[in-house]
A and B are shown apart, each in its own frame.
Chain A
Amino acid sequence: MTHSSTSRRVALLATAALVGTAFAAAPVAAQGDPNVCDGVIDGPVELTMMVHTGTNPGAEQESVDAFNAGPGAELGITLETIPLPETAFETAIRSAAASGTLADLFDMDGPTLYPFAWAGIARSIDSCVSQEKRDEFLGSIIQQGTYEGELYSLGSFESGLGLWAHKSMLEEVGARIPAGIDDAWTADEFTQILKDLEAAGHSTPLDIKWWYGAGEWRPYGFAPMIQSAGGDIIDRNTWDSADGVLNGPEAVGAFTTFQGWVNDGLVDLDALDDNNFIVGADGEANTGDEAAISWVGHWMSPAYSEALGDDLVLVPLPDFGNGSKTGMGSWNWAATSGPDGVPNSGDEADLDAVYAYIDFVTGPEEIDRFVTAFGAVPSTKTAIANSPNHMEGGSMAMYVDNLEAAHTDVSLVQAGAVPRPATPAYIFIRDEFSDLMADIVAGVDVQSRLDEAVQRIDQEIADAGYAE
């Protein structure tokens, strides 16, 4: 299940061959195969798309409206959205598939694609995406959308994860400001900085958005911590176990350090909303009781920049030994296997029509729309080059640096983004990781808790047959 370019090329060739044979074998007057992009859209089409309602539902709807008014009108396609709440989004998709009410398209967060691809709920769009288009994207986008060599999804934006900080507070305690991702603070240095900040009167200086609660935030935000130490959340060689990587000495070490921060009162666990970084507990800005450092992703950049202006600085995540590693991957769009979620069951919408939207929403104008709305990293190289924030020297250029240095082998001593693993067990692993983090924050013994998680993950992989 590796994603080497060779296997991908082979898959591409195979698909091309299949498509070719299909053309050759198809009767002359037949309609196009709905499961393959053959360049033909059979008649006017009405499509539905399930989207998550998140921070800025407006932007997604604007996109759809633009599509319906533009290319959709030209091609005879109307697209309607079905909003689903972000919490329990996958449960909703799964229930919809189980009850035959799934839409034709859906958006999902990076790695949650894999269980759906494995189960056949998502359909390959490999035959639809030209090499030219593929080359536009950051490697991470293509990688994110690929499962077992087939391309299933494309995204308009990538994510960035790092530490936002009040520059003035860092200067106050004499902390150096890292020049780039290879210059990140070491874990020890970071611990010291936190302690210095606390001593200087900034209690609970580290905000980790703990109020986001259980769910994707925790593995996304904090798996990089153990990956930076050399551990991981699943063994990416065998794909059937997390033993040795999630409960090995590297992971244990990273989590123990983290637990130390909590025990020393350096982490703000009580904040119930976003304001602790901006206004602090007294409700007033710039009075010094705001959290000094916020461990969070790109989506806070609009609010943070507006509130802090020049005092805002973006710093890479701490280096636990193998370089500062960070998260990547974001919401992307995929085609479904029809309302029943079963491949080739005859109810699938024409893939060309479905792909028309995916193509549109990953075009330059739409990318621009999302990036402005979410503060996300654009997914194409040209868009990055044209974005003042993200291009070289921009305030969020660090995110791009991380993405360009993306790698999956955590034993490499290298800074950069690490994609979440392409395994159908991802959703289960996510929930286990989320739980174990809560327990570690509560003070349990790290080694035994990680062992317990590994045991459950391995059992589930065996039960569900994910590794077969």
Chain B
Amino acid sequence: MTAAKGASKSQRVATPAPKPRFGPDTLAGWLFSAPAVLLLAAFMVLPFILAFYFSFTNERLISPRPTEWVGLDNYARVFNDPRFWKSLSNNVIFSVIVVPLQTFFALFLAILVNQKLQGVAVFRTIFFLPITVVMAAVSVIWIVLLNPDGLINAFMSIVTFGQFTPDWLSDPAVAMVAIILVSVWASVGFQMVILLAALQDVPESLYEAARLDGAGRWQQFRNVTLPGIRNPLLFVLTITTILSFRLFDQVWIMPARPGGPLDSTRTIMVELVDTGLNKGIVGRGSAIAVIFLVIVLVIALIQRRLIKQEGEVR
């Protein structure tokens, strides 16, 4: 028995890609995969297909009238809606600011915490703590902090000599800034941990060599650190970008009206939930969902292309 197995084993090792055969492995493969595959099929693939289907109908949650096929009508309606474009532009503004800001803030924190100082682990824990505060709770707490008579304005009043203490959640000019502040506070610790691990992977010897060559701190950073953490950094940038488009909890809970003052913090997600759930317009909500997916896909593809290119240059 063993000999026979040994023989087939060497055969299998020899071939580069094992050909699927109906052996115990195949059965095990299917069995292992079954739960996940069934769940994915039921709760991801099926809704995915339905999203496309509904987007071509005028389906509503409640209506005495039968559902009809409307072709591209929903899409036309969405693209002609100034509110949709406002939401999209808000998402873009948010991402363009938050992604670099949060990523490099995270890198800065990681570098700080990577130093060989006594008790630095305590600081690392503290920087990560906001992640453990659930976004819904974060939003509620910051409603009070951002109150015109609240702590943030108390601080602003000191720092700007009482000149600039806006109504953060009601002033369309600054509402997005408030959301950015809250989002960065709540999320940066997570990227920090990933980048910290990446930093620790950069061998000390490279820094030594750079120092011996007379490189100052900044040059060490540019020539040793950045290249050394290139992959994880790009990974963090991609993930943060995609997550930033999914912005929802804060902008839903915090402002006095969905979408914030003058729609200044209205995002695609707000638009989607408002249309599909609150107004029960499943058809148009699904169209927005599909458009959202396409946007995310495009971003992911663009970033992948950028990463690949850099890889080749290297």
The chain A residues found within 8 Å of chain B, CB to CB, are 88, 91, 94-95, 97-98, 115, 118-121, 210-211, 213-214, 269-270, 272, 281, 341, 428, 431, 434-435, 438-439, 441-442, 444, 463-465
Contact = CB atoms under 8 A, between A and B. Distances in A.
B256 A214 contact: yes
A465 B61 CA distance: 14
Closest 8 CB pairs of A and B: A438-B257, A214-B257, A442-B261, A94-B62, A98-B61, A270-B148, A442-B262, A119-B62
A119 B64 contact: yes
Contact of A97 (B62, B143, B257): B62
Contacts of B280: 91, 94
Contact of A270 (B60, B63, B167): B167
B262 A214 contact: no
A341 B172 CA distance: 41
Interface of B: 58, 60-65, 143-144, 147-149, 167, 170-172, 256-259, 261-262, 277-281
B308 to A, nearest CB: 44
A465 B261 contact: no
Contacts of B167: 269-270
Contacts of A464: 60, 63
Nearest to B274: A431
Given A269-B167, A428-B279, 14 more contacts: A88-B278, A115-B62, A121-B62, A213-B256, A214-B258, A270-B149, A281-B149, A341-B62, A435-B258, A435-B259, A438-B256, A442-B262, A444-B262, A464-B63
Nearest to B175: A442
A290 to B, nearest CB: 15
Among A97, A270, A341, residue most surrounded by chain B Cβ atoms (within 10 Å): A270
Contact of A91 (B63, B147, B259, B278): B278
Contacts of B256: 210-211, 213-214, 438
Contact of A94 (B61, B64, B148, B171): B61
User: Is chain B's binding surface mostly helix, strand, loop or mixed?
Assistant: loop
Contacts, number: 61
A118 B262 contact: no
Given A434-B257, A442-B262, A444-B262, A269 B64 contact: no
Contacts of A428: 279
Nearest to A459: B77
Given A94-B280, A442-B172, A272 B147 contact: yes
A336 B172 CA distance: 42
Residue among B58, B147, B256, B277 with max Cβ neighbours from chain A (10 Å): B256
Nearest to A463: B58
B124 to A, nearest CB: 35
A99 to B, nearest CB: 10
A310 B311 CA distance: 79
Tell me the interface secondary structure of chain A in the complex.
Answer: helix
Given A91-B277, A281-B149, A119 B257 contact: no
Given A91-B277, A341-B62, A442-B172, A272 B257 contact: no
Nearest to A121: B62
B278 A213 contact: no
A428 B278 CA distance: 9
A88 B62 CA distance: 15
A431 B259 CA distance: 12
B253 to A, nearest CB: 10
A210 B170 CA distance: 11
Given A94-B280, A272-B144, A435 B257 contact: yes
For A88, A98, A115, A281, which residue has the most chain B Cβ atoms within 10 angstroms?
A: A98
A259 to B, nearest CB: 14
B170 A269 contact: yes
A415 B269 CA distance: 44
A213 B260 CA distance: 11
A250 B62 CA distance: 34
Given A214-B257, A270-B147, A438-B257, A95 B58 contact: no
Nearest to A452: B82
Among B61, B257, B277, B278, max chain A CB count under 10 A is at B257
Nearest to B264: A442
B203 to A, nearest CB: 53
A213 B148 CA distance: 16
18 contacts: A91-B277, A91-B278, A97-B62, A98-B62, A211-B256, A214-B256, A269-B167, A269-B170, A272-B143, A272-B147, A281-B149, A434-B257, A439-B261, A442-B171, A442-B261, A442-B262, A464-B60, A465-B63
A281 B150 CA distance: 12
Contacts of B172: 442
Contacts of A210: 256
Nearest to A468: B65
B240 to A, nearest CB: 30
Contacts of B147: 270, 272
A95 B167 CA distance: 36
A168 to B, nearest CB: 25
Nearest to A118: B64
A204 to B, nearest CB: 11
Nearest to B256: A213
A55 B34 CA distance: 49
